[in-house]
Amino acid sequence: MKILITGATGFVGSHMAYQAHLMGHEVVLNKRANSKMHLFESVRKWYSNGPNNSNPLTNSGSSKEYNAAQGSSSEVLNLNVQSDTKSDFLSVEQVAQLKSRVGLPQLKNVLTFNLSQALNQVAEQSSPANDQQAVPNINTTDNRNKADNYSQTAVSKIQDFQPQWVEMDLQDTDDILDILDDSYDVVMHCAAIVSFDKKSEDRMIQENTDGTRNLINACLKKGVKKFVHISSIAALGRPENDQPIRIDSEWVDSKYNTAYANSKYLAEMEVWRGKEEGLQVLILNPGVILGFGEAHTSSEQVANTVRKGIPAYPAGSNGFVFVDDLAYSALTMLTQESNYGKRHLMVSHNLTFRYLMQELAQVLGVHPPKFELSGWKFQLSYWSIRLVELLGISMPISTELLMSTRRNSIYSGE
């Protein structure tokens, strides 16, 4: 299958690219002329790890007892965990530990990515056709070395991956039309601006909406049959009450909706228009995305809060998903015709911020935040940020985002 992935230098797009390559797809990756490659290259580490049964990355993870309502873990935090305090980002090992600690997905739709299994599948595909035992059962001691040799061949597929890049500005219709043609089986749209800076709101809404519209129009004009849109749970809205949010929840204008949420909702409207005009569309609505990537991702924003020793945690909860699980689920779903024509919730865990930040503290080997950001502490934070907004100073957090973190947003997969 020939796949064009937009936003391939970003957090989701990078993981999507490596996994699509592992699965044997013909991958063409989109970037802008000024795109930076550091995040994409850093993600290579996650998939070059190789099979190692002692590493949590290659295991399916263990689900420990967790009370979502209280936001507490049954384990006592251990502050003796070794961590690289000099690093600005979570390491492969730390993200693997976090994923293992959080456990297996609790909601349907999200599949768990297992590196060891993926590499063994690649090894099987590349093994000599006449060697029926080319990739033996690795649980058999006598065959372990042979299996490792073929798995190492699969690891090399990632290490040696030199994808085809195309420069394409999604705001430029001519750029898109020059690249797209009917040789592409599917476009996977992973590109989007994510910002909670008040000064960037108008630009974000325009570019996220216009970029999606331009892609949809180009697919229709050039004969590309399928379009996979990576949206967000933000596009489902946040109702005033604390009722569970479902994939079929209707959008409700609310003070808890951020400008980013509005941009993703409007982008989805363009995708639905494409469906009405004959395009096969598949919309995925992932939760807050966690995972490995050496850049200022959503995952690293939470980790930095813990790493810096900020003493308070938000009072609310949200839906989360690990980026490698999201990519694996998306690439699996795009091959199944029954998944098209609708959207799918991509939330693996409903977690309180308190619980997530405790687990990150455990992984980082630092003290967790102790105080809930509520009452006068919340009011002080809110009005401090609001004052900065009124002064026109850029901030990485908005009053809208702060308001949303005090809500108990629970997502239902039923």
Q: What is the DSSP string of 368-381?
A: PP-EEE-HHHHHHH
* Residue 224, in any domain of the structure: yes
Query: Within 13 A of 334's CA, how many CA atoms are on the CB side?
Result: 29
* Parallel/antiparallel/unpaired status of strands 186-189 and 72-73: unpaired
What is the CATH classification number for the domain harbouring 273?
Answer: 3.40.50.720
* 38 inside domain: yes
Q: At what angle do helices 38-47 and 11-22 cross, to 10 degrees?
A: 40
* pLDDT at position 85: 45
Q: Are strands 72-73 and 66-67 parallel, antiparallel or unpaired?
A: antiparallel
Contact at 8 Å (CB) between 180 and 227?
no
DSSP letter (8 states) at residue 84: -
Q: Let me know if residue 85 belongs to a domain.
A: no
378 found inside a domain: no
Domain limits for position 226? 2-61+105-295+319-355
User: Residue 127 has what pLDDT?
Assistant: 60
Contact at 8 Å (CB) between 212 and 326?
A: no
Residue for token digits 């949200």? 318
DSSP state of 293: -
Residue 155 in domain: yes
Instruction: Look at residues 283, 164, 286 and name the one whose alpha carbon lies nearest to residue 216.
Output: 283
User: How far apart, in whole angstroms, are the C-alpha atoms of residue 67 and residue 277?
Assistant: 46
In total, how many domains does the chain have?
1
Nearest CA to 230 out of 153, 331, 302 is that of 331
Q: Report yes or no on 411 lying in a domain.
A: no
pLDDT at residue 66, rounded to an integer: 35
Under 8 Å between Cβ of 368 and 82: no
Residue 54 domain-assigned (yes or no): yes
The phi and psi torsions of 301 (rounded to 5 degrees) equal -65, -45
Residue 216 within a domain: yes
Kindly list the distances between the CA atom of residue 44 and the CA atoms of 48, 88, 178, 248, 357, in Å, as whole numbers in the listed order. 6, 18, 29, 36, 26
pLDDT in tens, the chain (414 residues): 999 999 999 999 999 999 999 999 999 999 998 899 999 999 999 998 754 433 445 444 443 433 333 343 333 333 333 444 456 899 999 999 999 999 988 888 899 998 878 877 776 766 655 444 444 454 555 555 555 555 566 678 888 899 999 999 999 999 999 999 999 999 999 999 988 777 788 999 999 999 999 999 999 999 999 999 999 999 998 777 778 899 998 888 877 788 889 999 999 999 999 999 999 999 999 999 999 999 988 888 889 889 988 888 888 899 999 999 999 999 999 999 999 999 999 999 999 999 999 999 999 999 999 998 888 877 887 778 778 767 777 655 666 667 667 788 899 986
